[in-house]
Amino acid sequence: MAVVAVAVLPSTHGQCAAIGPLCYCGGWGLECKDLGIVPQVPPFRASNYTIHTIWIGGNTTMATVQTNAFIDVVTTEIIMSNIGITTIEPGAFSGLEKNLFYLRLSGNLLDTLHDSTFRGFYVLAVELSGNRFECDCRLMWLRSSTKVNQRYIKAVCFSPPSVAGTNVLSYDTSLYCVDTIETGIVCMFINVLIFMFTAIRMRNVTRWW
């Protein structure tokens, strides 16, 4: 049984943001059950009322949190743990920058997070334990980011094997990352050599003819 629940603060939330026959406002606020396998976050009815918690869980399997997934609602907490998420698109949480405090994404299948995922947030509490993070250059931004509260992350590297089990905030980046400036210089030097070699070869061919 798949469950999507949204808890609504009782004092100001008389409108239900549910859309579709599988969703209704219940004990947690807004609940969506028996969603099965869904490609992305289901739509919500636009509402200015603050939703305390959005919970997408149960037996739901959902691959992607799409851009602007929560653009029509206001909430302070989102729980999307253990539902098989593999991708969080940039801008997935746009519109929630002023109100969202807790984001729980534990036990999914995430292997990386784009550095623009939490753009506009400040020390957002994000739980990421139990994912399948590939600890390479793409996750380096987490170390110094002020967008998220590092105390809540609690995630470890899943791969490569040499750093598996290491905290995602402390793996040795020097093993997998080359400074982008140095890389650019090397690439430019190689391109110059290729150009010179080609020019010399073409000149020799012209002389032969």
> From first to last of its 209 residues, what are the pLDDT tens digits of the chain?
444 444 333 333 346 666 666 666 765 567 777 788 999 998 887 777 777 888 888 888 999 999 999 998 888 889 899 999 999 999 999 999 999 999 999 999 999 999 899 989 998 999 999 999 999 888 889 888 899 998 999 999 999 888 888 999 888 776 666 544 444 454 456 556 666 766 676 665 455 45
130: domain CATH number?
A: 3.80.10.10
Cβ neighbors of 5 (< 8 A, separation 6 or more) are 26, 28, 29, 30, 31, 32, 53, 54, 55, 56, 57
CA distance 134 to 163: 9
Whether residues 166 and 193 share a domain: the answer is: no
Question: For the chain, what is the domain count?
Answer: 2
Whether residues 135 and 198 share a domain: the answer is: no
Whether residues 89 and 149 share a domain: the answer is: yes
Whether residues 111 and 81 share a domain: the answer is: yes
**Residue in 182, 171, 108 with CA at minimum distance from that of residue 143:** 171
Provide the token pair at 176: 């997998």
Whether residues 31 and 132 share a domain: the answer is: yes
Whether residues 57 and 112 share a domain: the answer is: yes
Provide the token pair at 209: 């003819």
Provide the whole-model pTM. Answer: 0.74
Whether residues 130 and 209 share a domain: the answer is: no
Whether residues 41 and 105 share a domain: the answer is: yes
How far is residue 64 CA from its own chain's centroid?
Answer: 9
For residues 168-182, b (16+ Cβ closer than 10 Å) or e, as one string? bbebeeeebeeeeee
Whether residues 93 and 157 share a domain: the answer is: yes
Residue 34 domain boundaries? 2-171
Whether residues 189 and 142 share a domain: the answer is: no
